[in-house]
Structure 1
Amino acid sequence: MKIGFVGLGGMGQGMVGQLLEAGHDVTVWNRSKAPVEKLEAKGAKAAESPRKLAKSSEILITMLPDDSIVHGTLVESGALEALGKQAVHINMATVSVGFARGLAALHKRLGSHYVAAPVLGRPDVAAAGKLNIIAAGESAVVERITPILEAMGQKVWPVGEAPELANVVKIGANFMLASAIESMGEACALNEAHGVGRDTFLDIVTSTLFAAPAYQGYGKMIREASYTPAGMKMAWGLKDVGLAMQASHDSRVPLPFGGIVRDSLLEALARGDGDKDWAALAETPIGRAHLDKR
């Protein structure tokens, strides 16, 4: 099966690496050439454009940052129109619920298939083939592409026939992560104000009540104040919380904590932390507490 892959950021490179290790025939395209050359050395082929890549692919996988870039790269370029009838587009990016619905409708008109398959995991997890992949689309199509998804992840989680359902799950998961980071920052600020260091506090809670991968991983970064290189940039975190707020507005489901997290992210961006890992969000309430004590 001929696989095309668009989007070779930190996540995409690791995912393509896993596909190549599994013996798949993979052709790639990326705006910058360095990642393409790196993967060519591992056995990937290079495409001249997204349109030409789509035309020659039975499976087109995309891992792009947001709605706008997906639209420009695939729709405006004519790439989706070039996909063959019965070809499958697997969109593994975190996009808005409305945009996912629109892509599904476009594919239906064009005669190709659309599966949303956003992932849980950071670049190191992608490189190790340990992603958790949330998949939604026609059940027969999801079943057909599951071996490809399994080459990139440790588990595939089907959540329904409507592709946007996978994006709802991913947006909800990222909202929970942002909330966890914010709450750790606020709790650290409280403890530091009373003389208990963040290292001691986070060591206790991530070893007991919150001994879970998200808390332990982000807790370690906060303890060490180690936010570069970024696995998930602060600016991307703001985008994802914005997607949660947008989805909540559309479905009239209140997310009271969402406004707090969004404002903390905006404050972090205002202080110049946009390229840091979004774990640095914890520094917002900590820094605010220090200012209040002056």
Structure 2
Amino acid sequence: MKIGVIGLGSMGYGIAQSLLRSGHQVYGSDINTEAVKRLRAQGGSKADAIAAAHDLNAIVIVVLNAEQTEEVLFGKNDLVSRLTPGTVVVMCVTVAPDFARSAAQRCSALGIHFLDAPISGGSVKAAEGRLSVMASGTQDAFAAARPILDAMAETVFELGDGAGAGSAMKAVNQMLAGIHIAAMAEAISFAVTQGIEPATFLRVIPSCAGTSWMLENRAPHVAEGDYTPRSAIDIWPKDLGIVLDVARKSKFAAPVTAAALQQFIAAAGMGLGREDDAAVAKVYAHNAGIKLPGQTRNMSDSADRETGWRP
């Protein structure tokens, strides 16, 4: 298939790599020209995905949010109007279910299939073609997207015959993921206040009932003092904001989610937005006046240049 991948961040680039490995012709597009050049050097098409839209069989959207998706599909780029009827749009972005349903309806009006297909698994699994996909859409959309799903995913959950169900499930997943990261940060920082080294925390807790996938994945970043962004702090005010918007419309109280969101907002306000989301632990460290690995002074002191801290 000729497949355009719009958005070559850590997840989109991994998906593009998986599609290339499966023998597809992949066209990339991103405002980061270095990512586009890198994809082309690895075998991607020399043509830009948006410029080549008419020739494509499928588009995979892996941009940041609903606003960027709207701009790509229906706004300035107006990509949908340039696609050939029968092409499938696979939207992997975390958005509100209402947006997914609206996008599907507008695509359908032009004869374009639409699969609401948010993803989970992180950048490593994206590059390995081992993502989990929470997908919903018509049977025709699933059929058109099947080769793409086979290349990028280890598990595809088929959640219904209309867009919106996939995004609803992703909201549930992001609720848990955001809470678990904040809980990890709280627990590992609390451990430090009790004289427990992060390395000891990591030796013990993964074998105990209090563990979680997020704890086992993110706590090593704290223990190593390495906040290279695999998934950035800035993602969570957006994603947990979507969760709370959906909850509010459903008149559902989500107090634990709201508390986790406030910690990510605090981290972003401290200038940590582009660091790995495990850096939310620095909020707890600051409040407790403790040092985490890699820090040269207490968080309550002046700016810690080694960690990028801005109190």
TM-score of the superposed pair, with normalisation by structure 2: 0.87
CA distance in 2, matches of 1:225, 1:173: 27
Shift in Å at residue 49 of structure 1?
6.2
Shift in Å at residue 55 of structure 1?
1.8
Match of 2:107 in 1: 107
TM superposition outliers: structure 1 runs of 4+ over 3 Å: 46-49, 210-213
Shift in Å at residue 170 of structure 1?
1.6
For structure 1, which runs of at least 5 residues remain unmatched after alignment? none
The answer to whether the 8 Å contact 1:210/1:216 transfers is no
Shift in Å at residue 122 of structure 1?
1.5
CA distance in 1, matches of 2:137, 2:188: 42
Q: Match of 1:44, as an amino acid?
A: G
Match of 1:20 in 2: 20
Match of 1:37 in 2: 37
CA distance in 2, matches of 1:100, 1:191: 41
The answer to whether the 8 Å contact 1:67/1:99 transfers is yes
Match of 1:270 in 2: 269
Match of 2:304 in 1: none
CA distance in 2, matches of 1:8, 1:208: 37
Match of 2:243 in 1: 244
Match of 1:54 in 2: 53
The answer to whether the 8 Å contact 1:188/1:286 transfers is no
Shift in Å at residue 194 of structure 1?
2.8
Matches within 5 A, 1:1-294: 1-48=1-48, 50=50, 52-76=51-75, 77-210=77-210, 212-228=212-228, 230-290=229-289
The answer to whether the 8 Å contact 2:199/2:223 transfers is yes
The answer to whether the 8 Å contact 1:29/1:47 transfers is no
CA distance in 2, matches of 1:102, 1:140: 18
Q: Match of 1:57, as an amino acid?
A: L
1:134-153 CA deviation, whole Å, 9 max, x = no partner?
21111342134223211112
For structure 2, which runs of at least 5 residues remain unmatched after alignment? 291-299, 301-311
- Higher normalized helix content (fraction of residues): 1
Q: CA RMSD in A?
A: 1.9
CA distance in 1, matches of 2:281, 2:161: 37
Q: Give the length in aligned residue pairs.
A: 290
CA distance in 1, matches of 2:250, 2:259: 20
Instruction: Give the 3-state SS of the residue equivalent to 1:110 in structure 2.
Output: coil
Moved more, 203-212 or 260-269: 203-212
CA distance in 2, matches of 1:283, 1:274: 12
Instruction: Give the 3-state SS of the residue equivalent to 2:52 in structure 1.
Output: helix
Instruction: Give the 3-state SS of the residue equivalent to 2:272 in structure 1.
Output: coil
CA distance in 1, matches of 2:198, 2:34: 39
